[in-house]
């Protein structure tokens, strides 16, 4: 009932607050963070690179503040360049008044990624942001992560017990950034492949491509359509419909 739902929400909120308080103790911070942002990069062999930014406050995920960044103009597969571009774009937007300053910036990676993130924060004159790196161990199992905290003299490794609520918070945020990045990457890759499939069909120009996509509502619907159905679209002759169907279904 409504009372139980309310109690469950309050318990969940208290649990999240406990995690933030635990993290403060784990990192020896002078304050309890109110906002944590985490960034991740996703691609397949350099294709469709997308960066994600997820945000958590003491109430949990703040999904309205999540952002994705389509990465372009880098060597495919260069995660360092991708992260540099994403962070720079995020904090350039911040300097223009978009979004809030996070208390903690969480990076999925080790010292190399942290050094890069530190340079971006210095560029945008944001030394007050606490920079934390979470790197997977050799086994890549949850709980085997190595944590790094940026300091004026470099980095120090942070030891957290596997049952630490603070560690669980960082893992949860990291996993959410990973999920959000992968989802965005798959959407971008799928869209690019749909366009490239249609663009590679001989005799099918931009206008007819648009007619097809508008008529069927998307590439998947075109893939399911019969040759006759394709031929009924404005501007598509029977011969072109035959070519389109053959190309999409790899028929020689």
Question: Would you state the pLDDT for residue 223?
Answer: 83
CA geometry: angle 9, 56, 150, nearest 5 deg? 140
* Contacts of residue 4, Cβ cutoff 8 Å, sequence gap at least 6: none
> Which CATH number does the domain 2-190 belong to among 3.40.50.720, 3.30.420.340, 3.30.70.920, 3.90.110.10?
3.30.420.340
Q: What is the CA radius of gyration of the chain?
A: 24
Q: What torsion, rounded to 10 degrees, do the Cα atoms 122, 126, 127, 128 define?
A: -170
Strands 60-61 and 35-44: unpaired
Domain ranges of the chain: 2-190, 200-248
Question: Would you state the pLDDT for residue 228?
Answer: 93
* Contacts of residue 108, Cβ cutoff 8 Å, sequence gap at least 6: 38, 39, 40, 133, 134, 135, 174, 177, 178
- Is residue 118 within 8 A of residue 87, CB to CB? The reply is no
What are the start-end ranges of the E strands in 97-229?
A: 104-107, 130-135, 146-151, 154-158
Question: Would you state the pLDDT for residue 240?
Answer: 92
Question: Would you state the pLDDT for residue 194?
Answer: 65
Residue 106, φ and ψ in degrees, nearest 5 = -105, 125
Q: From first to last of its 252 residues, what are the pLDDT tens digits of the chain? A: 777 777 777 667 788 999 999 999 999 999 999 999 999 999 888 888 899 999 999 999 999 999 999 999 988 889 999 999 999 999 999 989 888 999 999 998 888 889 999 999 999 999 899 999 998 765 556 567 889 999 878 889 998 888 999 999 999 999 999 999 999 888 887 777 666 677 778 888 888 888 888 898 877 788 889 999 999 998 899 999 998 888 887 665
| CATH, domain range 200-248 | 1.10.150.20
3-state helix, strand, coil in the chain (%, to 5): 50, 20, 30
Question: Would you state the pLDDT for residue 209?
Answer: 87
Residue 137, φ and ψ in degrees, nearest 5 = -75, 180
Q: Do domains 2-190 and 200-248 have the same CATH topology?
A: no
Question: Would you state the pLDDT for residue 141?
Answer: 62
Question: Would you state the pLDDT for residue 1?
Answer: 74
């Amino acid at each position: 009932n409504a009372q139980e739902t309310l109690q469950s929400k309050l318990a969940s909120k208290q649990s999240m607050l406990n995690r933030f308080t635990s993290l403060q103790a784990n990192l020896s911070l002078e304050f309890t963070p109110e906002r944590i942002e985490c960034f991740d990069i996703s691609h397949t062999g350099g294709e469709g690179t997308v960066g994600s930014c997820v945000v958590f406050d003491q109430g949990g995920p703040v999904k309205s503040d999540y952002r994705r960044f389509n990465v372009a103009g880098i060597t495919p597969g260069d995660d360092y360049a991708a992260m540099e571009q994403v962070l720079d774009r995020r904090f350039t937007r911040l300097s223009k008044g978009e979004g809030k300053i996070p208390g903690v910036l969480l990076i999925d990676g080790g010292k190399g990624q942290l050094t890069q993130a530190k340079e971006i924060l210095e560029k945008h004159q944001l030394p007050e942001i606490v920079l934390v790196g979470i790197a997977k161990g050799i086994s890549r199992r949850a709980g085997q992560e190595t944590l790094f905290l940026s300091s004026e003299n470099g980095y120090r490794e942070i030891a957290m017990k596997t049952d630490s609520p603070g560690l669980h918070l960082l893992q949860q945020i990291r996993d959410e950034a990973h999920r959000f990045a992968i989802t965005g990457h798959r959407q971008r890759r799928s869209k690019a492949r749909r366009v490239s499939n249609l663009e590679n069909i001989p005799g099918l120009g931009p206008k007819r491509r648009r007619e097809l996509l508008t008529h069927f509502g998307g590439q998947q619907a075109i893939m399911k359509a019969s040759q006759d159905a394709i031929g009924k679209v404005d501007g598509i002759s029977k011969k072109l419909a035959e070519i389109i169907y053959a190309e999409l279904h790899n028929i020689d």
